[in-house]
Structure 1
Amino acid sequence: MDAPRLVAYDVLRAVSSDDAYANLVLPTLLRERELDGRDAAFATELTYGTLRWQGLYDEILSTLVSRSLDDLDPGILEILRMGTHQILSMRVPEHAAVSSSVDLARTVMTAGPSAMVNAVLRKVTARDLEQWADEVLIGVDDPLTQRSIRWSHPRWIVSAFYDSLGGDLAALDALLAQDNVPAPVTLVARPTRSTLDDLKELGAEPGRWSPLAAVMGSGDPGDFDAVRRGDVGVQDEGSQLVTLALTSVAVQSAQPEQWLDLCAGPGGKAALLAGLADERGAHVVANELHEHRAQLIRQVLRNGIGDHTVVVGDGTAGEWESASFDRVLVDAPCSGLGALRRRPEARWRRSAQDVAGLTKLQRQLLTSALDAVKPGGVVAYVTCSPHLAETLLVVTDVVKRRDD
């Protein structure tokens, strides 16, 4: 059995059966099984592509399998999804996609299911992706349900995006399409430790939005000494921008400033804050509820980036004096709907009911942050979700309850 497909299968099974995250399991398996270069790239695309397009592939497969997909062995269903992705979305010859899927079924299951895999995937080869999408959308009239199927997102997420975009269907299509595009690896030059020129020397191209960002074309950032030392980090431009926004606002404060990262784990924003604070003589307190995540922050800051303190505490409890910080970052736990292209499995795990529970916590954290900031200071409330219930409505609700 070829190693890349087996790695992808093992990751997908871990995701579906153990609630694992692909971005954590995949790199570990690639290292353990010594896959790199083209093999690693193939396994990565097969894993993430299958997860992204799972919804559409299941719609297709449900027309080709005589029983409910829920009644299939979970391992066989993963193999059918993987085979469908290779046939419809990868440059894999159809015969190779079918035969390799049959071989995989024989390796991890028995000969019996492999016959069904062969029969079903041969039927998949009868149409291309667009033709299959048109086929499964026959009779579907609701525009949001159409987009849910076509772009492989649960309908409740499509509806939330639609509301956030003010009912703009063209913008909705663009957003959903981008969720299914592989995300690039973006580096950040941590102030006082590295510069954008250092990132360029690593072969990365300057980012579009952040002045500290550069985008890698290929390769593993962990191969670079600067990344291993912590001088350079891996951080999306959006994450960089919210940190830069917090620190760019003028505040009324005596020097040195005190900054608080209220929900600091796993430490990416805290590291950038610490570097920016180092330039200004400010002190950063990085707070995290869980000790194991606090340890991740310490690891990121291990080489003495800036003047900082890592503490373990409940961000909702206000475990510090009121009005004691000049700048407070609230990177609140959220549904993650704005980061689905990096964590595609999240779209299949979250539910609309999850959001209600999260918004209570988000309101508590924002309230705690507003209590902690000094008069004339600034609070940045940040989520990686565009859901109105987690963004505008949280801020509106908290602010209207305060008289300061």
Structure 2
Amino acid sequence: MNIVDELKWRGAVNQTTDEQDLRALTDEKKIGLYCGVDPTGDSLHIGHLIPFMMLKRFQLQGHHPVIVIGGGTGAIGDPSGKNSERVLQTMDQVQHNKEALTAQMENLFGTDNFRIVDNYDWLSKLSLLDFLRDYGKLFNVNTMLNKEVVATRLEVGISFTEFTYQILQSIDYLHLYQHEDVQLQVGGADQWGNITAGIDLIHKIEGADARAHALTIPLMLKADGTKFGKTAGGAIWLDPEKTTPYEFYQFWINQDDRDVIKYLKYFTFLSEDEIKALQQEVNNQPEKRVAQRRLAQEVTKFVHGKQAVIEAEHITQALFSGEVADLSVDEIEQGFKNMPSVQVNGETKNIVLWLVDDTKIEPSRRQAREDVKNGAIRINGEKITDLEADINPADHFDGKFVIVRRGKKKYFLVRINK
């Protein structure tokens, strides 16, 4: 199947400049293509992942993806679509973010048949006069004003700096066309104006018959109409320090039945037959959530590796069953990151006094005694019914944690001060 046809089956094509020629071009040769990301932060989130999944699909078919880390444009800031200017970052911030994003991209794409470049390398060499004479002269202000990303800002105002961002992005495309044999730029739906401006620049300098293409991806909305990737807790990051692999896995496994097949098409490399089989599972046995689990496995493996999937499923099963004693210290850090926690000293103490005086898990000694006698308290997965039992924090988890479960589902993580 031609890569363009595969992307259309997956629902991943919003607009193309010349679909027929792009299909012909990708049949003729293995093309270079690119997507850019500015280092405005030190991690990508799953919203960023969408266009890079497209590049990965091209890579798997033998094409040559190039990623532009915008060390130059990131120092300027693109029009955000919000009614305000971006706050300019220091060059030290840009450099730190660039290094972090580069590491994430190398993790996703490997090192074969793939390049990361920094547009600072060519944009920083432009003098003001060169910029105005060689490029500014080729851009019509009226046309630039009609680009959606600019037009939406005209009422509240836009600085000259952000206004000229589309020229810089166009220069990127021209540079990659000339030096990296790139003939396709991929981006989100909101990037259409900037990408086509780059194609126009290529045609003006290289000739009208230059084969340069644009492909944008639809804005992804959930079945309830809200924007994909946003949760009550904030963005879902690719950085495991910001969003643990367990949290990442849980995000995907909790997707709505109405969305899961769409996400399997977008975010996994499963075949059409495999996804059709999962669609049948959703139709016939939705309560088993087979499709959601496969989605969580595939995306977590792609971003964090196979071991992260094993750990995420181990944590999930342990929390569901209550058998937490076999969790590792790292798994506890992941699984209990957002659960209620308290810090206590590490001395051995009677369970009732410990639950009330030290951890404040129980509101009173009377309630603590009642819960212990009724079997409602589990310490590190073990039910405790003896009111004379002692809690020794050194017994498990290298003396760093005690896991308390009160009732069927209420967990507390007790961190032990050293």
Instruction: Determine if the TM-score, normalized by the shorter chain, exceeds 0.5.
Output: no
| Larger fraction in helix | 1
User: Which of these two proteins has the greater Rg computed from alpha carbons?
Assistant: 2
Normalising by structure 1, report the TM-score.
0.26
